[in-house]
């Protein structure tokens, strides 16, 4: 769940591609299993994302998923959207090993991570993230992985860092959108985020996040215009 008691800041994190190869085998509780998207899972995805307050309603989440992903990229969704399902095949957690164009060029972006709040505390979030990250290996894209999050998701930031993601010291990343003006800047505020997280993180964790932060290389600083279909 989002913790809206903190000031809001955007943050981009980066996992070096080499870290993908050292990820542990994901572990699930007895009776739970992984599977990829199948038709109809968009309703479960919408339920999960609205439950964690990424969308105001189930309907808005479903509309977004259908328009943004299924209409154009249904084949990619079937290869990249990972779900944890309970013993009755009900999706209870999800993460997507997405890839998209950006001002840095085509890149891996781990996206839309959520766990049913009633199922939290079972390690499902860590498991589904790890499974989705390992999906990049299966898709032969062992390259850097990025994700966008915010201070309201500070519990998730802690988990991402434990799995090998670091704060990324880049001012912004430009990505394509479906609406005019067809591009938007994905903002990034690593220092403001660290200062905010001091309210909920230990000094040791803040130090680790700061010391391991990644600077962008020349290709990441290119800041070109993302290609649009």
Q: Is the pLDDT of residue 223 over 70?
A: no
Task: Provide the token pair at 13.
Answer: 């994190």
pLDDT (0 to 100) of residue 107: 95
- Long-range pairs of 213-217 with CB within 8 A, sequence gap ≥ 24: 213/166, 213/167, 213/168, 213/169, 214/14, 214/16, 214/166, 214/167, 214/168, 214/169, 215/169, 216/168, 216/169, 216/170
The model's confidence at residue 53, banded by pLDDT at 50, 70 and 90, is confident
pLDDT (0 to 100) of residue 188: 96
Phi–psi pair at 96, nearest 5 degrees: -125, 125
pLDDT (0 to 100) of residue 225: 59
Alpha-carbon 167 to chain mean position: 14
The mean predicted confidence, pLDDT, of the chain is: 93
Domain boundaries defined on the chain: 10-211
The helix/strand/coil state of 33 is strand
pLDDT tens string 6-25: 999 999 999 999 999 999 99
Q: How many residues does the chain have?
A: 229
The CA distance from 67 to 168, in Å, is 30
* Nearest of 137, 224, 126, 114 to residue 174 by alpha carbon: 224
Which fold does the domain 10-211 belong to in CATH? Aminopeptidase (3.40.630)
Lowest average pLDDT, out of 50-54, 95-99, 129-133, 201-205, goes to: 50-54
pLDDT (0 to 100) of residue 137: 96
Give percent above pLDDT 90 in the chain. 86
pLDDT tens string 68-111: 899 999 999 999 999 999 999 999 999 999 999 999 999 999 99
Q: Please compute the mean of the pLDDT values over residues 36-42 and round it to a whole number.
A: 97
Whole-model pTM: value is 0.93
Residue 190 and residue 48 in contact, taking contact as beta carbons nearer than 8 Å: no
The model's confidence at residue 173, banded by pLDDT at 50, 70 and 90, is very high
Q: Is the pLDDT of residue 141 over 50?
A: yes
pLDDT (0 to 100) of residue 181: 64
pLDDT (0 to 100) of residue 2: 81
């Amino acid at each position: 769940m989002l913790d809206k008691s903190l000031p809001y800041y955007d943050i981009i994190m980066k996992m070096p591609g080499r870290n993908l190869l050292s990820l542990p085998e994901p572990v699930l509780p007895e009776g739970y299993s992984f599977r990829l998207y199948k038709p109809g899972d968009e309703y479960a995805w919408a339920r999960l994302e609205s439950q964690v307050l990424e969308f105001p309603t189930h309907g808005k989440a479903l509309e977004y998923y259908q328009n943004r992903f299924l209409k154009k990229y249904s084949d990619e969704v079937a290869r990249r959207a990972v779900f944890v399902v309970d013993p009755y095949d009900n999706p209870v957690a999800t993460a997507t090993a997405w890839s998209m164009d950006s001002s840095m060029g085509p890149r891996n972006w781990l996206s839309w991570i959520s766990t049913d709040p009633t199922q939290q505390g079972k390690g499902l979030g860590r498991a589904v993230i790890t499974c989705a990250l390992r999906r990049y290996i299966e898709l032969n894209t062992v390259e850097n992985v990025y994700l966008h999050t915010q201070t309201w998701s500070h519990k998730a930031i802690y988990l991402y860092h434990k799995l090998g993601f670091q704060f990324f010291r880049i001012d912004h990343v430009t990505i394509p959108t479906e609406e005019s003006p067809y591009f938007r800047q994905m903002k990034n505020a690593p220092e403001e985020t660290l200062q905010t997280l001091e309210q909920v993180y230990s000094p040791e964790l803040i130090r680790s996040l700061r010391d391991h932060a990644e600077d962008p290389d020349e290709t990441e600083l290119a800041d070109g215009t993302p290609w649009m279909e």
